[in-house]
Amino acid sequence: MVEPAVASEGEWSVEQCIPKDLEQELVGSSNKGNFYFFLHILKRLKTTKRTGWLNFEVENAESIADHMYRMGIISMCATDKALDTGRCVKMALVHDMAESLVGDITPEDGVCKEEKHRRELLSIEYLCNILEPFNPTAAEEIKTLWNEYEAVSTQEARFVKDVDMFELMVQTLEEERRYQGKKDLSVFMSVRSQIKTPQVCDLADGIIAERKKFWDSISSNNK
């Protein structure tokens, strides 16, 4: 599920993703009005559920904003002194910002990697252009952080990429516990193979160990 965006390649545009009730807000808007519009678009991150959980019929699934918030906290708690943790936190907060317009696209949605990137880039540029009259410094920083994350061009970007996958692993275990073993969400644990940074590798392995204990207890109780 790609909500709130439209999935068909070649026809997609940012403008078609703007909610009908917001379309007129930018007409003759002040700088402050631009900022309000920017915030109203970002609200969708709070209400759009993560597609992976919906595909597995997980009830009361986390939103995109839920995911990014915990990523920000994880990044804040980084122990690697070589990392700029402040930059990591900011990157975690903006890395999925484009999904307020394109939705949470997954491989099952039939949108190729290049098209997904194109849509997300257009969305980030649109959002930053809206924000720029109110705060050009923030607009430029968001764009820079997003591009840095996408290109994995710094150690901070590599760390946040890994945190993105680690947070998914944590959520996977939590959902399996919530369903008391009635849902096997192991497909999401496969992201462990993509994690590179030592600290996040160690944390991810700890979650794998916790998950094994959980499933062992489920097996024991079913005997």
Model pLDDT for residues 139-163, shown as the tens digit of each residue? 999 999 999 999 999 999 999 999 9
What's the one-letter identity of residue 115? E
- Backbone torsions φ then ψ of 195, nearest 5 degrees: -80, 135
Residues 6 or more apart in contact with residue 33 via CB below 8 angstroms:
25, 26
The reply to whether 23 falls in a domain is no
Cβ contact 220:212 at 8 Å: no
Task: Report which of residues 149 and 105 the model is more confident about.
Answer: 149
What's the one-letter identity of residue 77? C
Q: Rounded mean pLDDT of the chain? A: 92
Q: What are 97's two structure tokens?
A: 């910002």
The reply to whether 4 falls in a domain is no
**Stretch 74-92: mean pLDDT:** 98
Task: Give me the CATH number covering residue 108.
Answer: 1.10.3210.10
Report the pLDDT value the prediction gives residue 217, as an integer from 0 to 100: 94
Cβ contact 119:17 at 8 Å: no
* Distance from C-alpha of 214 to C-alpha of 208, rounded to nearest angstrom: 10
Cut 0.85: pTM above it: yes
Report the pLDDT value the prediction gives residue 8, as an integer from 0 to 100: 45
Task: Report which of residues 120 and 28 the model is more confident about.
Answer: 120
The reply to whether 191 falls in a domain is yes
- The structural domain count of the chain equals 1
Q: What percent of the chain has pLDDT over 70?
A: 93
**Stretch 52-65: mean pLDDT:** 96
The reply to whether 170 falls in a domain is yes
Cis omega before residue 107 (within 30°)? no
Q: What are 78's two structure tokens?
A: 């980084």
Residue 49, strand partner residues = 63
The reply to whether 3 falls in a domain is no
* Distance from C-alpha of 158 to C-alpha of 160, rounded to nearest angstrom: 6
The reply to whether 56 falls in a domain is yes
CA atoms within 13 A on the CB side of 49: 13
Report the pLDDT value the prediction gives residue 220, as an integer from 0 to 100: 81
Instruction: Out of 22-31, 74-83, 103-112, pick the least confident.
Output: 22-31
* Structural domain boundaries, residue 65: 29-222
The reply to whether 139 falls in a domain is yes
The reply to whether 8 falls in a domain is no
219 pLDDT higher than 80? yes
